[in-house]
């Protein structure tokens, strides 16, 4: 099987004054279609830098990054923006919703950037909101929704363009325990439908939902293992029964 992501000796260096920071020191990693991968690591491990690379939010100092057969490591900012819009769906800890826009308008936003006509945008956004259980909340603004509902809106927005990859950065960080389990259940369902999911987290219990766990330390991959004790949504919901 051909990887959907190929990272080869990715390095990232920053200069702060006279000091040179080696955020990534040669990361090589393959991720395949329909994998569910958790990226973990303590503060300073390079986890956030790697996430930015995978999401085409930053470019490496050196190395090669192939995303869905596209060589993205040396792309311009405009080219990277186009790749992000078409290939990657983002889910953030802080939801990143537009406060004055409705649920439907927030979900349609990537489709506007993609140049899709309005009637088609509305249809696509409505369909994906139904999928995440928010068909009855389309006209609500973010401040009229619970934290879990806002994260569902963010997940719908990530899905609406049918991207190759869902990149979830600490998706349960601002949620209570029960809502966190529900959101992880939703990601589980999305994965079962064929999406590739990359989950960035520092929480062991959240990482255990993934099928593969990659741990970073000091800018390199410390371990890359199959998760043989996958935690399912049904199992965790038993704690709230």
Q: How far apart are CA 124 and CA 211, in angstroms?
A: 29
Q: Which CATH architecture has domain 33-59+76-240?
A: 3-Layer(aba) Sandwich (3.40)
Q: Average per-residue pLDDT in the chain?
A: 92
Two structure tokens written together for 195: 């999406």
On whether the CB atoms of residues 95 and 142 are closer than 8 A, the answer is: yes
Residues sharing a CB contact under 8 Å with residue 8, sequence separation 6 or more, in sequence order: 28, 63, 64, 65, 66
> Mind listing the pLDDT tens digit for each residue in 77-116?
899 999 998 899 999 888 899 999 999 999 999 999 888 9
For the chain, the straight-line distance linking the first and the last C-alpha, in angstroms and rounded, comes to 41
pLDDT over 90 (residue 54): yes
> Mind listing the pLDDT tens digit for each residue in 148-166?
999 999 999 999 999 989 9
């Amino acid at each position: 099987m051909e990887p959907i992501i190929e990272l080869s000796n990715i390095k990232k260096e920053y200069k702060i004054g006279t000091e040179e920071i080696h955020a990534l020191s040669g990361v090589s990693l393959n991720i395949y279609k329909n994998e569910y991968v958790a990226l973990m690591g303590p503060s300073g491990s390079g986890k956030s830098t790697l996430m930015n690379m995978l999401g085409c939010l930053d470019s490496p100092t050196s190395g090669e990054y192939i995303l869905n057969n596209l060589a993205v490591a040396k792309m311009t900012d405009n080219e990277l923006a186009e790749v992000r819009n078409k290939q990657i769906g983002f889910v953030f800890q802080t939801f990143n919703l537009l406060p004055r826009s409705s649920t439907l308008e927030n979900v349609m936003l990537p489709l506007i950037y993609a140049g899709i006509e309005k009637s088609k945008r509305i249809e696509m956004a409505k369909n994906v909101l139904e999928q995440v259980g928010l068909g009855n909340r389309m006209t609500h603004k973010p401040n009229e929704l619970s934290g879990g509902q806002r994260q569902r809106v963010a997940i719908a927005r990530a899905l609406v363009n049918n991207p190759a990859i869902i990149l979830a950065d600490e998706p349960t960080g601002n949620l209570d325990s029960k809502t966190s389990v529900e959101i992880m259940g939703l990601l589980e369902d999305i994965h079962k439908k064929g999406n590739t999911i990359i989950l960035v987290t520092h929480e062991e219990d959240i990482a255990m939902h993934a099928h593969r766990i990659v741990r970073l330390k000091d800018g390199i991959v410390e371990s890359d293992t199959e998760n043989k004790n996958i935690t399912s949504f049904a199992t965790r919901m038993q704690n709230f029964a």
